[in-house]
């Protein structure tokens, strides 16, 4: 039987560095909320986030306001 330590995911998960390039003025509230959910809010703000389908979906929603630096860039 595996212990809890063996069931944990590896610590070296893929990450994305997301940098905000656009301003939050004159954008819809849903996009503003998505940026806040990503931990952004001001131009040139950046965050290192886990590469997951949920994060990629959020990035896709505001793709005209952010840039991806690092692994696994989104093309779409």
Query: pTM of the entire structure?
Result: 0.75
Contacts of 7 (CB under 8 A, 6+ apart): none
Q: Domain residue spans in the chain? A: 14-69
| Strand residue runs (E) in 1-76 | 15-20, 46-50, 66-69
Domain 14-69 top-level CATH class: alpha beta
pLDDT reported for residue 2:
54
Torsions phi, psi for 5 (to 5 deg):
-65, -35
pLDDT, greater one: 3 or 38: 38
Distance CA 36, CA 47 (A): 11
Instruction: Please choose, from the candidates 9, 13, 11, 15, the residue with its C-alpha nearest in 3D space to the C-alpha of residue 55.
Output: 15
pLDDT reported for residue 13:
79
Express each pLDDT in 17-61 by its tens digit. 999 999 999 999 999 999 999 999 999 999 999 999 999 999 999
């Amino acid at each position: 039987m595996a212990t809890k330590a063996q069931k944990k995911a590896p610590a070296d998960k893929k990450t994305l560095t997301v940098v905000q390039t656009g301003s939050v003025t004159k954008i819809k509230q849903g996009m503003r909320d998505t940026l806040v959910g990503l931990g952004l809010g001001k131009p040139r703000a950046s965050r290192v986030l886990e590469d997951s389908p949920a994060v990629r979906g959020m990035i896709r929603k505001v793709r005209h306001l952010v840039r991806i630096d690092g692994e696994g860039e989104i093309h779409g």
